[in-house]
Structure 1
Amino acid sequence: MAGVNRISDKLKVVSSSSRRKRKRSPFFLPEEILFSILLKLPVEVLCNVMRYVCREWYNVINDPCFIDAHLQKSTNCLLIQSYRFPNFFHFVEIHDSDIQTRMVRYEFPMSAYSSCDGLILFRCNEEGIFYVANPTTMQLVKLPPLSSKWCFIRAPLLTYFRSTGRCKVVLILRDENNHNVCLILTVGADSAWRQIDTKHFPDFASHSFSCKSFSTGGYIYLTCDYASHLFALDAEAEIFHRFPKPDCTIGGKYMVWKSFLGLVAHHAAFVWELWALTDLNTGKWTKLLYIDLRGKRCKIEQKFDVPYGESSVQGYLSRKNLSLDRCLVPIASLKNGEVLIFRGTLPFKTYIVFNLKTRKVSSFVICRGEEHASNFYVCHINNLVLLNAS
C-alpha cells in the first residue's frame, strides 16, 4: 500500500487546488478508491479508454506510483513475432481454463530482439538503428547510431530498473580485430554508446555467445550452449560476473523462471530438470523440480499437428527416426513459474502448454507455413511504463 499512500498524498494536493478553481468533476471519487479501481483494470482499457475520461483520471494513470503498482500486479504473456511479417505480433495469455491469443498490428515493422517489463528492443534492418518501444502506449524512442567500426551484432538486450524508471540497452559486437566488445547506453541520458571494460575476463573477447540472452533482476545474462560458464552483467553497476553452468546430464534451454535465470535440461525421455541460478554471490544453481511428462505422451501426440503430406505424427517420427520429446523445445515460463511452454520443431507448428501445478496439457497454433521457423518469442508484460526520452 506504500504506492497508494504516496499517490494519495499527491492527489489530495491536486484535488484541493482544483476545487478552489472549479466545480467538482462528475466523475469524482476518493483518491484511494479511484486508485484501487483503476489498478484492477487491464492495461489496454487504462491506456485506450480510462485515461481520457477526465484530467484527474489521466493524472492518476500516468503517475509513476500507479504505473509501478500496476506493473507489479501484472502477469506476463508470450509475445510472438514472425520475421516474415514483422508488423504483426501475437500475444498469448494463459488463464486457468483457456488460452487466449490475439494479434496486434503495429506501425513499426522492425525485428524485435528483447523485452523487459513490457519495453521491447527493436532494430530497423534497413537503417541499422535500434529503437526502444512500449507497444501498449505506442511510445517509440530512437537510439543513437553505432560507429561503423563495430560489426556482427550479437545478444542485443535491454533491462528496466523499476526503482529509477531508467532503461539500459546492451550490445555485444565484434571489433576490427574480431574480438567481442560490450557497449551500453542509458536511454534518455546517454547521447552515445559507452564501452564496458571486460579485461578482467580474458576469454570474454573470444567467447562464442548465443543469440539468445536474458534479463531479470537487473542482470543481463549472456549464454553459450557449448561453454562451461556464462557471463552476467550487473547492468546498474555495469560490472561483469562469470558463473558456472549447472551440473546437467544433457544440455538445456535457458529462460527466465520467476525472477531467476532458469535452465530446462533434458534428463530422459519426456523428463526434464528445472534449474535456477538462485545465489548470485556464489553462483549456486538449485535443481528445483523434475518435469515428468511420460504419462502425457499420448495426449501431447494428439495435440501435435500432422505434417503436410504425412498420414500421422507417429508415422512421420518413425520415418525420420525421431522421438516426440526431442521435438519439444522449452522456450518460456509464464504465470510466475506455474506454466511451461514448449515449441514444436519443424515441421510441427504446435506450441505445448504444461501447467506444473495442475499437470494439465494444452496447446495452441499461431503460425501457418514456414515462418514458424523464424519466430521471435519472449515473455512480455503489457504495461504503461513511460520511456525517458529526454
Structure 2
Amino acid sequence: MAQSRISAIVSSCSENGEDSSSLDSLPNDVVAGILLRLPAQFLHNSASNVSRKWGEISESQCFINSHLLTHLSECEFLIQDTNKVQSINARDLKLEETDLGTKFHGRISGSSDGVLLFNKSSGSVMDFYVANPVTMQILKLPSLKSTCMISSHCSNIARVSSTGEIKVIRLGRDSLIGMYKWYVLTLGKEMHWRKISNNAPKECDPASYLSFVQSLSVNGVVYWTNSSWITDPSVFAMDLCHETAYHLKVPGECHGQYWTLVQMGKEICCMNCGKDVEMKVWKLNDLHINEWILIKSIRFSSEISLLRGNFCVPLTWLDLEVLVLSVYVGARNVVVAYNVNKGECRMLKIDDVARHTIFLHTNSLIRF
C-alpha cells in the first residue's frame, strides 16, 4: 500500500513529462504530511530514492518523532520463544514468525519507541545489544565486569521523549561491597555504566527485587512487579529521565486481589483479573504522587463463553480497543484478542505465553 502511494506520485510526474526531482518543489509541510502516512520500513528503504528532499525530511529528528507518534497504534505484539520471535500486528491480528531471532544476538529484554534490547549469556557475563530492526542499526554495550550475572528481567531500555536520550538500566552486584546496585548507560553519550545514586526510598532497595519477572518500559519509565498477576500491591518504578526510583502502590480496589500492569500506548495501566470479574483499567496519572485514575470498565459479552467462568489475565493493549488476554481453561491456557467496543473475541493461534516473554513494539526510524 505504501509503495503504491509513492509509485502513483512518481508515475504522475512522469506522465506530465517531469522527473522525480520536481517533487522537491512541493512545500515541506506537504511532503511531511505524505511521508507521515507511510510505514517506517518503506521510508528507510526508499524515501531518499524518490527525492532528495523526501530523504532529508524523513531523516530529520523532528519528522522521526512525529512519525513515531503517528504510528503508535500500529504496534506489534512480539512473543519471545526459545529459538524464535513471533509477532502479531494490531491491524489484522495475524501471527507471523519474524527474523529477529536470526538477525540479532540473544533474547529480547525490552522495547522502547522501536528500539529493542537484547541479552546473551556467556559464562558468568551477560552481554547486551541495542538494535533497531527497521534501520538495522545494532550496538553492543560495554560489559559490566564488576558484577555477577543477573536475571535479564532486571534489565530494560527506555527512550526519554523530552530529550531523545536512550538509556539502558540493569541490576548488578558490586563485587567490592557485595551489594546490589542499579546501573544505567546512555547510548551515544557516555557509553559506560554508571551507578544510580542511592536516593531511593527504603522500599526500593535493589536486593528486594531479585525475583522480578515482569518489566515494562513506558514513556521513559521502567516498571517492575514480581509476578504476572499478584496480590502484593507494590510496584517499583525507575524514571530514567531523572534517574529517580519510586515505590508505588496500585489502586486500593486491587489490594488483596489479583492484578497486573499493562501498557496502553504511552500510558501504564493497572488492571484487575480473575474469574467473572468486571475488569477495570486505572491509568497512572501522576508518578510522583502515586495517583491512579479509573478510565475504563470492561464487562465481557455474555455470548462469549470462553471468557465466562475462566481466569482471565490481561497481557497488553494492541490499541485503545483491542485487549490481549491469557485465558486459563482447565489445565491449559489460550490467548485471545478482545475488542472492548464491539464485544468481539478472536482466539490467537499461539502457544501458552509467559508474561515476561511478550513485548509491545512499534516500528520506528529512531537512531542512536
Please report how far the alpha carbon of residue 180 of structure 1 lies from its aligned counterpart in structure 2 after TM superposition.
3.4
Please report how far the alpha carbon of residue 366 of structure 1 lies from its aligned counterpart in structure 2 after TM superposition.
3.3
Residue of structure 1 in register with 2:269 after alignment: 262
Asked whether 1:377 is paired with 2:358, we answer yes
In 1, distance between residues paired with 2:288 and 2:199?
Answer: 21
In 2, distance between residues paired with 1:37 and 1:207?
Answer: 50
Percent identity between the two aligned chains: 24
Please point out which of 283, 298, 302 is paired with 1:295. Answer: 302
Residue of structure 1 in register with 2:316 after alignment: 332
Residue of structure 1 in register with 2:14 after alignment: none
In 2, distance between residues paired with 1:186 and 1:345?
Answer: 40
Residue of structure 2 in register with 1:62 after alignment: 59
Residue of structure 2 in register with 1:283 after alignment: 290
Q: 1:330 to 1:161 in 2, by over 3 A?
A: same
Asked whether 1:102 is paired with 2:86, we answer no
Please report how far the alpha carbon of residue 195 of structure 1 lies from its aligned counterpart in structure 2 after TM superposition.
0.7
Indicate the SS of the match to 2:154: strand
Q: CA-to-partner distance for each residue in 1:23-59, whole Å, 9 max, x for gaps?
A: 9825434122222111111222212233333433221
What is the identity, as a one-letter code, of the residue corresponding to 2:359? Answer: V
Q: 1:358 to 1:145 in 2, by over 3 A?
A: same
- Which stretches in structure 2 are left out of the alignment for 5+ residues? 1-18
In 2, distance between residues paired with 1:228 and 1:169?
Answer: 26
In 1, distance between residues paired with 2:154 and 2:79?
Answer: 17
Asked whether 1:202 is paired with 2:198, we answer no
Q: 1:262, 1:277 within 8 Å by CA — same for their partners in 2?
A: yes
Residue of structure 2 in register with 1:240 after alignment: 245
Residue of structure 1 in register with 2:112 after alignment: 116
What is the identity, as a one-letter code, of the residue corresponding to 2:202? Answer: P
Q: 2:160, 2:240 within 8 Å by CA — same for their partners in 1?
A: no
What is the identity, as a one-letter code, of the residue corresponding to 2:349? Answer: V
Residue of structure 1 in register with 2:337 after alignment: 353
Please report how far the alpha carbon of residue 68 of structure 1 lies from its aligned counterpart in structure 2 after TM superposition.
1.0
Q: CA-to-partner distance for each residue in 1:340-361, whole Å, 9 max, x for gaps?
A: 1013459656421112222221
In 1, distance between residues paired with 2:82 and 2:288?
Answer: 42
Given the two structures, how large is their TM-score scaled by the length of structure 1?
0.77
In 1, distance between residues paired with 2:121 and 2:246?
Answer: 31
Indicate the SS of the match to 1:45: helix
Please report how far the alpha carbon of residue 135 of structure 1 lies from its aligned counterpart in structure 2 after TM superposition.
0.9
What is the identity, as a one-letter code, of the residue corresponding to 1:331? Answer: L
Q: 1:202 to 1:101 in 2, by over 3 A?
A: same
Aligned residues: 334
Moved over 6 A (4+): none
Residue of structure 2 in register with 1:219 after alignment: 221
Q: 2:157, 2:169 within 8 Å by CA — same for their partners in 1?
A: yes
- Which stretches in structure 1 are left out of the alignment for 5+ residues? 1-22, 302-322
Q: 1:81, 1:112 within 8 Å by CA — same for their partners in 2?
A: no
Indicate the SS of the match to 1:49: helix
Please point out which of 128, 131, 135 is paired with 1:130. Answer: 128
